[in-house]
């Protein structure tokens, strides 16, 4: 996601991968998984500081017998549209679960009004 958001003012604590995955699902119906700043980051409740990992990806899992060429083309078009409008992708706030173990399974988010 670092490469995807290059050239923007996106910060790691904006959780761009979470925003991207939410928009890809809500607007286009494609489900992907954020494996980056939130999934592998760590939050220290004492210092209230977040430590971010070096990896920051979004995982696209494609069941090989389920999708046809037009399905994959639609995914590519959807990602291209989001990329062309990456400055408009909002940051997210963590509403619940920042400090939980396995937080990427349990956390809740909302789009930020920045």
Residues linked to residue 109 through DSSP beta bridges, in sequence order: 94
pLDDT (average), residues 68-92: 94
Domain assignment present for 110: no
pLDDT (average), residues 107-113: 94
Read off the pLDDT of residues 7-57 as tens digits, 9 standing for 90 and up: 999 999 999 999 999 999 999 999 999 999 999 999 999 999 999 999 999
pLDDT (average), residues 86-91: 95
Q: Is 40 exposed, middle or buried (0-12, 13-18, 19+ CB in 10 A)?
A: middle
Listed residue (100, 97, 112) closest to 15, CA to CA: 112
Listed residue (49, 32, 45, 48) closest to 104, CA to CA: 32
pLDDT of residue 74: 93
Q: Which domain holds residue 38?
A: 12-62+74-94
Read off the pLDDT of residues 25-39 as tens digits, 9 standing for 90 and up: 999 999 999 999 999
CA separation for the pair 35, 41 (Å, rounded): 9
pLDDT of residue 114: 64
Domain assignment present for 1: no
Based on the structure, what is the number of domains in the chain? Answer: 1
Domain assignment present for 43: yes
Chain centroid offset of residue 112 CA: 14
Q: Are 14 and 112 in contact (CB under 8 A)?
A: yes
pLDDT of residue 23: 96
pLDDT of residue 62: 82
CA separation for the pair 76, 54 (Å, rounded): 25
- Per cent of the chain over pLDDT 90 is 83
């Amino acid at each position: 996601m670092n490469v995807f958001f290059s050239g923007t003012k996106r910060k790691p604590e904006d959780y761009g991968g979470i925003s991207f995955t939410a928009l890809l699902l809500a607007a286009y119906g494609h489900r992907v998984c954020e494996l980056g700043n939130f999934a592998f980051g760590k939050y220290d409740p004492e210092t209230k500081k977040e430590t971010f990992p070096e990896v920051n990806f979004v995982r696209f899992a494609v069941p090989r017998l389920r999708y046809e060429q037009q399905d994959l083309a639609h995914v590519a078009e959807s990602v291209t549209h989001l990329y062309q409008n990456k400055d408009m992708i909002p940051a997210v706030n963590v509403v619940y679960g920042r400090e939980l173990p396995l937080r990427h399974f349990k956390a809740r988010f909302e789009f930020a009004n920045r």
